[in-house]
Structure 1
Amino acid sequence: MMFDLTILGSNSATPAYGRNQTSQILSIENRLYLIDCGEGTQLQLIRYGIKPSRIKHIFISHLHGDHYLGLVGLLSSMHLGGRKDELSIYGPPALKEIIDIHLLYSDTRLRYPVHFIPTVDDEERVILQNEHITVRSFPLNHRIPCTGFRFDEPPPLAKINRDVCDELNIPSHLFSEIKKGGDYIDENGTIHQHTDLTLPPKAPRSYAYCSDTLNSGVYFSSIENVSLLYHEATFLHGMLVRAQETYHTTALEAGQIALKVGAKKLLIGHFSARYRELSPLLEECRSIFPNSHLATEGRMYHIEN
């Protein structure tokens, strides 16, 4: 199953050095999920050949402008482009008021339905579930209410052990039930356990998005053993005091967090505009967690276990 992440924006409060403000596209089985929508998101979608009409769900972590100020413009462009399909938006309750007041004073009546799902910042909660993915929001620790998002694919079915099944002459039309956990009873009445007829499936994959947050541990249980962790790393560790004052994380801390929660792979982003070169942040992070990478705009990351 397709499970890919494309970085649209990787900078923090302001765009700088060709880096845009925070936004990502998660592609799961040809369905697109937009995570945060900073200014310039529309241009990045065009630049990387991603059609906004394919986006069905938008997740906004919090109401600092670098994470949502591109949203109303994107909604308007979808309207002008003739969108008819419903769009689901997940974000802080006040976001609905922000959207509504923009549409009110611009006298805009969207051609498509918008379903708004308010997030909460005091507990983990399932906010979306379909045949391809389960999405949970979870509290982060920022200056204002802020949530992260975790995307988990369902556990894959077991694989048929063809050698064993062929030896027992099991009809192929029974394979589907066996993969789901059904046993096989042969013509002699012997019960063959499904565990003897199948091979273990691959572990399900997952992606966790941690935008702006202090390194406080309140969210660690929500991101345990994740396949790919995106975590903000706004500052180098030499600016730890500034990071704590602004409720942000350093690159060193991001590596420590990834190690502590058992992440398989780490992407760092939300870079401060004070850094033209990002290699020092990556080096600092890798000193703790070697499988760390920069969230590079335009790059697609395939999520795997």
Structure 2
Amino acid sequence: MNLTILGCYAATPRSMTNPTAQVLEIKNRMFLIDCGEGTQVQLRKNKLRFSKINHIFISHLHGDHFYGLIGLVSTFSLLNRNNDLHIYGPKGIKEVTLLQLKLSNSYTGYNLYFHELESKESEVVFEDDKVIVTTIPLVHRVYTNGYLFTEKPDDRKLNVDVAKDYGIETCYYQKIKSGNDITLDDGRVIPNAELTFDPPEPKSYAFCSDTVYNEAILPIIKDVDVLYHESTFLESEAHLCERTMHTTAKQAATIAKQANAGKLILGHFSTRYGNIEIFKEEASTIFENVELADDGKVFEL
């Protein structure tokens, strides 16, 4: 599982910083999370293959989280994309995207599917045989969701040496990896635990941006391996959180601690601060394992 930060700053793009967008690579899937201005340029800078992105998750309809979407959708057409593209986001994402395509006479040459979200309760929005994606309802000035990405358990790992010792034919190996016991010709039942090793523990990643401090998300993200949480302000500007409906670094760390997260990644920094290291210093007083997002930074989770 790898996370590439394409942009992690709040409000407006600047010459050296970009608004929110990131790519999560998990189980050979590549998911784009949010799509602020400049996302496709950042994809090129970070040498990420456009064609592998088949699912885009938009948290909310503020410009610093989705104004790069129409450009990316159009570029996919210019690159003669054939794969279906699925876009998940708040109700309205379909209307605003199709209107731009209509007025520019730039309809896609590939299938474009919209999955518009309205529920204020957590729900599964994507699932295949490897990964499940669940919404994390957030509290912001407009309808907003974070997303929880969870690996499904792998098959058990076959202990080939033991299987051979029992004379088990290879045609039964997949059955064993799926968790089944095996009955030998002499009637003995060999328990699966004797024939296999435990697979690696499934990993999980939670993306939470933008939101006020909100303990209601704790049951959804409990024990998450990695939590990305917005930290727009420091405690010295905590009075701005109520008006703008954002979070401080200290508040994000409190959420991580209460959720028993394995790691906290801070992002969505206000550009009023010249040094983002102070966000880590503040959060580390509450939660130990803190890292800072930054444009172009890659996390191996």
Structure-to-structure mapping, 1:164-203, within 5 angstroms: 164-203=162-201
Partner of 1:89: 87
Amino acid at match of 1:89: I
Task: Please say if 1:132 is aligned against 2:117.
Answer: no
* CA contact 1:120–1:139 (8 Å) conserved in 2: no
The share of aligned pairs that are identical, in percent, is 41
Partner of 1:78: 76
Ranges of 4+ aligned residues in structure 1 off by more than 6 Å:
none
1:163 offset after TM fit, Å? 5.2
Partner of 1:290: 288
Q: How many Å separate the matches in 2 of 1:218 and 1:67?
A: 23
Q: How many Å separate the matches in 1 of 2:119 and 2:285?
A: 32
Task: Please say if 1:233 is aligned against 2:231.
Answer: yes
1:70 offset after TM fit, Å? 0.7
Aligned partner of residue 238 in structure 2, secondary structure: helix
Amino acid at match of 1:87: L
1:132-174 residue CA offsets vs partner (Å, 9 max, x unmatched): 2111112111111000111111112222344543443333432
1:84-140 residue CA offsets vs partner (Å, 9 max, x unmatched): 221100011111111121112212221111000012341111111112211111211
Gap regions ≥5 residues in structure 1: none
2:148 is matched with which residue: 142, 147, 150?
150
Aligned partner of residue 301 in structure 1, secondary structure: strand
Amino acid at match of 2:112: V
Q: How many Å separate the matches in 2 of 1:192 and 1:66?
A: 57
Amino acid at match of 1:269: G
1:45-98 residue CA offsets vs partner (Å, 9 max, x unmatched): 111112323211111000111000111111111122222221100011111111
Task: Please say if 1:105 is aligned against 2:103.
Answer: yes
Partner of 1:246: 244
1:15 offset after TM fit, Å? 2.5
Structure 1 vs Structure 2 CA RMSD:
1.6
Q: How many Å separate the matches in 1 of 2:199 and 2:220?
A: 24
Q: How many Å separate the matches in 1 of 2:58 and 2:253?
A: 24
2:270 is matched with which residue: 260, 272, 280?
272
Question: In structure 2, do the counterparts of structure 1 residues 100 and 178 end up closer, same or farther at CA, with 3 Å as the change threshold?
Answer: same
* CA contact 2:136–2:208 (8 Å) conserved in 1: no
Aligned partner of residue 168 in structure 2, secondary structure: coil
1:29 offset after TM fit, Å? 3.7
* CA contact 2:27–2:151 (8 Å) conserved in 1: no
| TM-score, length basis structure 2 | 0.95
Aligned partner of residue 127 in structure 1, secondary structure: strand
184-193 or 286-295, which deviates more: 184-193
1:6 offset after TM fit, Å? 0.4
Q: How many Å separate the matches in 2 of 1:84 and 1:293?
A: 38
Amino acid at match of 1:217: E
Structure-to-structure mapping, 1:38-77, within 5 angstroms: 38-77=36-75
Partner of 2:117: 119
1:216 offset after TM fit, Å? 1.9
Q: How many Å separate the matches in 1 of 2:15 and 2:253?
A: 24
* CA contact 1:182–1:194 (8 Å) conserved in 2: yes
Aligned partner of residue 218 in structure 1, secondary structure: helix
Amino acid at match of 1:267: I
Partner of 1:13: 11
Question: In structure 2, do the counterparts of structure 1 residues 199 and 51 end up closer, same or farther at CA, with 3 Å as the change threshold?
Answer: closer
Amino acid at match of 2:173: F
Aligned partner of residue 86 in structure 2, secondary structure: strand
1:189 offset after TM fit, Å? 0.8
1:41 offset after TM fit, Å? 0.8
1:291 offset after TM fit, Å? 1.0
Amino acid at match of 1:228: V
Aligned partner of residue 150 in structure 1, secondary structure: strand
1:273 offset after TM fit, Å? 0.7
| TM-score, length basis structure 1 | 0.94
